[in-house]
Amino acid sequence: MRPLVLSLVAGILSAPLSPALAGEIDLGPRPAWLVSQMEDGPLKEKLQACLGQPVEPTLFSISHRGAPLQFPEHTEEGYRAGALMGAGILECDVTFTADKELVCRHSQNDLHTTTNILTSPLAGKCTAGFTPANGDTPASAECRTSDLTLAEFKTLKGKMDSADKKATTVEAYMNGTAPWRTELYGAAGTLMSHRESIALFKDLGVRFTPELKAPKVTMPYEGFSQSDYAQKLIDDYKAAGVPPADVYPQSFNLNDVLYWIENEPEFGKQAVYLDGRRNLNPMDPATFSPSMDELKAMGVNFIAPPLFVLLTLEDGNMVPSPYANAAKAAGLDIITWTLERSGPLNNGGGWYYQSVGDAIDGDGRMLEVVDVLAAQVGVKGIFSDWPATTSFYASCMGLE
């Protein structure tokens, strides 16, 4: 098999990835198992022929929060696992602490479900402590990164993201992991600041996609404005000497993307607009406001909606949606999320597959979805909770 060319699109991704992981990729058994679940046909035959072949890191394979199918998200251990599986880009979701230091967490208020804070000496600092379930009232807690200093944050341990809302004890509340995930690597995750993630990713030889998360505190926060927050994210890469071409800053807030485009244009031209618009119908271009052409005119080059927004069914077959076609016609590069986040696909795949659920009847459909996204929609990358799956596909198909 010819080596995978790491530059996915000429003129967009100009420099190769570091060879730090070359020859060290370990996909494990899952890609082979997924292929075994597929219906017979040309795609299955092609993928079968690639099993056991060498795999190189690929920018098509984007590590979503590390490797949270099995590892606590946004931890050093999860990031290392994602890189080991061939992800060429790793994600640090960025939020901030009480002393306005940037850290890797999916949300500013998820410490109660993603760390051991409720059983730590810091539990008393939470915005809202643990309240047990009582009748129809579910158990609850709220612990924010902004409740802690960076030094305090670093004393915590990451765990699998979960909570048992029926729990009457803290211990039971923290033990709600879905049965299709695992606790084999849980409860010992090393939390990271944004700067620490940059140093780790540099060492691993991968690129960076930090996501600026919406604050749960009112902004400005003690003089820290939204623009200060967006700028601080970029400043961390500049201080570390990371080339702008290696960074894909993301946000669901279009104004953050536009801030980077205007104030940090070298970073802004690779800024990713995460499209989570609730009033958008991917089958009706009249609901795209702003339109794809308007986004492009604003300077947006990358757009990233969830999987289902890019797909629809035509005579029972998965095909690109009107949204996907409009984005391509406007010259927008497309990234999508999130593969391997839905658990077993035998019941239609759930939220991420809702537009093609009638065609999803098992895990064998997962690589079919990836193939349609890559070959027909033309996505430049796919976020995955288990990057081995996307790394295997990209390497097998020799994506360029």
Contacts 24+ apart (CB under 8 A), 173-177: 173/118, 173/130, 173/132, 173/139, 173/141, 174/116, 174/118, 174/119
Residue 102 in any domain: the answer is no
Structure-token pair, residue 375: 């070959």
Residue 65 in any domain: the answer is yes
Claim to verify: residue 343 and residue 311 sit in the same structural domain = yes
Claim to verify: residue 216 and residue 294 sit in the same structural domain = yes
Spatial contact of 160 and 177, defined as CB atoms under 8 Å apart: yes
Residue 103 in any domain: the answer is no
- Rounded to a whole number, what is the distance in angstroms from the first to the last CA of the chain? 14
3-class SS letters over 279-300: CCCCCCHHHCCCCHHHHHHHCC
Claim to verify: residue 117 and residue 138 sit in the same structural domain = yes
Question: DSSP of 183-199, one letter per residue?
Answer: STT-S-EEB-BHHHHHH
Claim to verify: residue 73 and residue 144 sit in the same structural domain = no
Residue 60 in any domain: the answer is yes
Claim to verify: residue 125 and residue 245 sit in the same structural domain = no
Claim to verify: residue 258 and residue 341 sit in the same structural domain = yes
Measure the CA–CA gap between 299 and 257, rounded to whole angstroms: 9
Measure the CA–CA gap between 167 and 174, rounded to whole angstroms: 9
Residue 320 in any domain: the answer is yes
Confidence (pTM): 0.94
Residue 399: the pLDDT is 86
Claim to verify: residue 272 and residue 364 sit in the same structural domain = yes
Helix, strand or coil, per DSSP, at residue 31: helix
Instruction: State the pairing for strand pair 317-320/311-314.
Output: antiparallel
Q: Given 190, 224, 246, which residue is the final one in a domain? A: 190
Amino acid present at 43: L
Tens-digit pLDDT string for the chain (400 aa): 333 333 333 232 334 554 344 458 999 999 999 999 999 999 999 999 999 999 999 999 999 999 999 999 999 999 999 999 999 999 999 999 999 999 999 999 999 999 999 999 999 999 999 999 999 999 999 999 999 999 999 999 999 999 999 999 999 999 999 999 999 998 789 999 999 999 999 999 999 999 999 999 999 999 999 999 999 999 999 999 999 999 999 999 999 999 999 999 999 999 999 999 999 999 999 999 999 999 999 999 999 999 999 999 999 999 999 999 999 999 999 999 999 999 999 999 999 999 999 999 999 999 999 999 999 999 999 999 999 999 999 999 998 5
Residue 376 in any domain: the answer is yes
The CA-atom distances, in angstroms, between 328 and each of 8, 62, 301, 371 are 16, 20, 11, 17
Claim to verify: residue 239 and residue 350 sit in the same structural domain = yes
Residue 23: the pLDDT is 52
Residue 159: the pLDDT is 97
Annotate 218-227 with b (16+ C-beta within 10 A) or e (fewer): eeebeeeebe
Number of domains forming the structure of the chain: 2
Helix (H) or strand (E) holding 395: helix 388-397
Measure the CA–CA gap between 251 and 10, rounded to whole angstroms: 25
Claim to verify: residue 346 and residue 270 sit in the same structural domain = yes
Q: Given 128, 159, 190, which residue is the final one in a domain? A: 190
Helix, strand or coil, per DSSP, at residue 302: strand
Structural domain boundaries, residue 166 = 109-190
How does DSSP classify residue 386?
A: S
Claim to verify: residue 165 and residue 199 sit in the same structural domain = no
Q: Given 190, 208, 243, which residue is the final one in a domain? A: 190
Residue 390 in any domain: the answer is yes
Claim to verify: residue 184 and residue 312 sit in the same structural domain = no
Residue 179 in any domain: the answer is yes
Helix (H) or strand (E) holding 207: strand 207-208
Claim to verify: residue 77 and residue 216 sit in the same structural domain = yes
